[in-house]
Chains A and B, each alone.
Chain A
Amino acid sequence: DAKTTQPPSMDCAEGRAANLPCNHSTISGNEYVYWYRQIHSQGPQYIIHGLKNNETNEMASLIITEDRKSSTLILPHATLRDTAVYYCIVRGPNAGGTSYGKLTFGQGTILTVHP
């Protein structure tokens, strides 16, 4: 699976948009971009994923560049409860390949939302 690069930490004011960048320049054609977050002492929580197109759900938006070499996770109105470690992960499908969809976690970005 392709490796990702994220800034180690970011700050955001409560109520503002948080934009978390991720570089994945070696991504392959069948690999998806996933975002998870981990709030202290909890298991990772799925946020969103995409292949080529931009995606939006109730939690966040995912913007993927046309060449798919980078992406941005957007939390539109950050709250204090969004303080967490955010992981950008590139993975293949969990069937038909040798990676079986396992997630390879990097160090992630520590997002701190302050009042």
Chain B
Amino acid sequence: GAGVSQSPSNKVTEKGKDVELRCDPISGHTALYWYRQSLGQGLEFLIYFQGNSAPDKSGLPSDRFSAERTGGSVSTLTIQRTQQEDSAVYLCASSLVGGANEQFFGPGTRLTVL
């Protein structure tokens, strides 16, 4: 079946612009996670959705970062007024809720802020 998909695969933007990154989770997966991977920081958690609500936003680095999820499916991560330090690969993962259900990752969006 279809896995987690993300778009765009690559995004180059200028400092100060806003960007939107999209994640399509596996159908039926209620839990959705955003992570980012940068050279200096490794792979770090950003935000967790259960359905359309986000009970854990503790990893968002600043108020320029926000995310939403609609219909319990697609999620969008928005970065406002991008900075060069936002350059990273943004990864989305989804899973069933409960117990030890494993997370399945998408291929990521590589964001480059010039």
Contact = CB atoms under 8 A, between A and B. Distances in A.
B103 A101 contact: yes
A104 interface: yes
A42 B107 contact: yes
Interface string B5-35: 0000000000000000000000000010101
Interface string A99-114: 1111111110000000
B95 interface: yes
A93 interface: yes
Contacts of A105: 35, 42-44
Interface in A23-53: 32, 34, 38, 42-46, 49, 51
B101 interface: yes
- Looking at chain A, what size class is its interface with the partner chain? 20 to 34
B43 A44 contact: yes
A110 to B, nearest CB: 13
Interface in A43-69: 43-46, 49, 51
B55 A43 contact: no
Contact of B102 (A34, A95, A100): A34
Interface of A: 32, 34, 38, 42-46, 49, 51, 87, 93-95, 98-107
6 contacts: A43-B4, A45-B105, A93-B99, A94-B99, A101-B31, A105-B35
